[in-house]
Structure formats: structure tokens, C-alpha cells
Amino acid sequence: MCDLDRWPVDVRGGCQLNNLAQEMSPLDAGFRKRLAIIFDAWREAVASVLREGQAHGSVRRDVEPADAAGLLIAMVEGYASLAKNAQDPKVMKAGIRNTVGWLRSLRATGNRKRG
């Protein structure tokens, strides 16, 4: 949901979706519910891709797609918040590197290519 191509260059404003969720969710129930729909759609899209990968044998069978999708979103949003707070693009670059490493760990045996 966040523009990760832009993140390493400009972390000043953070992720707009995360900013909205953090600022508006406690203030407006309707707004919070609409944001929840966006987060749920994001989580379901990632989970769907992971389930598809499991069906094709490229994602480990022991991975719970919904849980992994939630963790991925938390990593993206968490690193976005850390980078915004630090005002340092290196923080986001490290986050992307760590997230990619974690995603690679989800590969099924025989699909663990480097790169």
C-alpha cells in the first residue's frame, strides 16, 4: 500500500495509510472501519498470493497465509514508522532488506534461490 519505490528517498512523511490509521482511528469510528477494510483487503491479497504459492509448491506448507500476511504488513508499516521517526532512509532500506529476507525464508525446500 505504501510507495516502497519512493521510501528509500523520502521518509519524511511516513506512510499515508499508516498516518491516517494512527491519527484518525481513535477519533472516528466510521473512519476506522473504512481503514480496516483497506487493511483487510491488503492482508487478504497477500494471503491469497501465499496460498497460491503453496498450491504451486513454492511456499512452505507450514506457513499460515493469513498470519504471514499480517506479519508482512506489520513489518512494512513498522519500518515505515521507524524510518519516519528517524528521518533516515537507511532505516527503510534496512527494513526492506530484512523483509525480503523473511519472505525468502517462506520458500519451500527446493525453491530457496538466492536473489
Q: Does domain 16-104 have CATH number 1.10.580.10?
A: no
Residue 99's CB: how many other CB atoms inside 10 A? Answer: 17
pLDDT tens across 65-107, in order? 999 999 999 999 999 899 988 988 889 889 999 999 999 999 9
Say if CB 46 and CB 73 are below 8 A apart.
yes
pLDDT tens across 5-24, in order? 554 556 777 777 776 777 67
Residue-range domain boundaries for the chain: 16-104
On the CB side of 17, CA atoms within 13 Å amount to: 18
pLDDT of res. 6: 52
Give burial (CB, 10 Å; 0-12/13-18/19+) of 100: exposed
Say if CB 57 and CB 108 are below 8 A apart.
yes
Residue 25 DSSP code: T
